[in-house]
Structure 1
Amino acid sequence: MTDLQPARTRPPRSHGAVPKPVSPFDDEAAAVANLDPALLAALRRAATAAAADGVEIRVNGGWRSPEYQDWLFTEAISTYGSEAEASRWVATPDTSAHVAGQAVDLGPPAATPWLSEHGAAYGLCQIYRNEPWHYELRPEAVEHGCPPMYADPTEDPRMRR
């Protein structure tokens, strides 16, 4: 972006933007309310169990509109310098699990050890090694553990649509 181009405005909360982390029980936040129901139920069960262990889980990102996902991808290109490098961190709207309501970004960082140890019991699995905050529902993980992680989204076959 040159200094002659206006900064792009972040889409509003109704598009799934999460300016500040929210509770997994915040039904007013589109990022939470529009999650896949099975993912949301698993997330809420995990958050309740984590709270009983003294660990707070917050949602930093969840469902996103295609417009918001496009905004994030464009910002990533600007940050990382190329589509190829941006793709290591942000999916396009047509490949993003967030747009489908099937991914959630969790925090704070202090919750990561709890999620690493207990997330599979709720079917919540970290998918990408470079994104310790990104979780998706893998129901089979309850019995079999989480599948091996991809190094980053560029290794995920779902990103090759």
Structure 2
Amino acid sequence: MLHLRHDPAPPVRARPMLAVALAAAAVAGLAGCQATPDPPTTTSVAPAKAPTDDVGDGARQGEAAGQVPDGTTVFDDALPALANLDPALLAALQQAAADAEDDGVTFFVNSGWRSAGYQDRLLREAVAQYGSAAEAARWVASADTSSHVTGDAVDLQQTGGSQWVADHGAAYGLCLVYANEPWHVELRPDAADRGCPELYADPSQDPRLHG
């Protein structure tokens, strides 16, 4: 008689449910022990100062400090660069410019009044460009001596206006001042009778700038 062998089924291993539960509990416990991160701190920062005419290391660039946009003429007297000029100088410029228009010449302005901060910035830039304070002084005065800061000078573009002043300006009391700056115009009220004074070689030779 054939006897079939029946091996007992292998024992079924129980899933380690207890171990899994214990591990999960341990993880949860560790998570509960971790410190909650603090919220990011914020630093109170004072609002930036509103722009002013003169700031920190120089002047705020812009019309308020004396810069002029392209195409400015002596008749654009709402701009600070012209509005802050000596009234007698501005009047003489406008009278001369009106007559110059009959000759087809327009008085375009490169610069007029400047703030002290803007002037100081220009001087620092000139020192960097020319390599020394002595050389820079041939082109740019300090803020406490500049006739631009006091409103007593205008720089005209060399598109005819400055040459017209060289030829006819004395009749209006308008004179060029420096040989190396044939655009720098100042008022000399007695020039109509005596003519314009002799030119200084450059601003460094002007005794008014060394007071």
Identity %: 56
Q: 1:21 deviation in Å?
A: 4.1
Residue 132 of structure 1 pairs with residue 182 of structure 2: yes
User: CA contact under 8 A between 2:59 and 2:117: conserved in structure 1?
Assistant: no
Query: Which residue of 2 is the match for residue 77 of structure 1?
Result: 127
CA distance in 2, matches of 1:151, 1:48: 30
CA distance in 1, matches of 2:146, 2:59: 21
TM-score (norm 1): 0.91
Select 2:160's aligned residue among 103, 107, 110.
110
Residue 32 of structure 1 pairs with residue 82 of structure 2: yes
CA distance in 2, matches of 1:10, 1:114: 33
Tell which structure's C-alpha radius of gyration is larger.
Answer: 2
Q: Number of aligned residue pairs: give it.
A: 154
Query: Which residue of 2 is the match for residue 3 of structure 1?
Result: none
Return closer, same or farther for 1:138/1:76 CA change in 2, 3 Å cut-off. Answer: same
Unaligned runs of at least 5 residues, structure 2: 1-57
Query: Which residue of 2 is the match for residue 60 of structure 1?
Result: 110
The higher-RCO structure (CA 8 Å, 6+ apart) is 1
Residue 120 of structure 1 pairs with residue 157 of structure 2: no
Please provide the CA RMSD for this pair.
1.4
Task: Report the residue type matching 2:180 in the other structure.
Answer: N
Task: Report the residue type matching 1:35 in the other structure.
Answer: L
User: CA contact under 8 A between 1:138 and 1:146: conserved in structure 2?
Assistant: yes
Q: 1:52 deviation in Å?
A: 1.3
Unaligned runs of at least 5 residues, structure 1: 1-7
Query: Which residue of 1 is the match for residue 146 of structure 2?
Result: 96
TM-score (norm 2): 0.70
Task: Report the residue type matching 2:91 in the other structure.
Answer: A
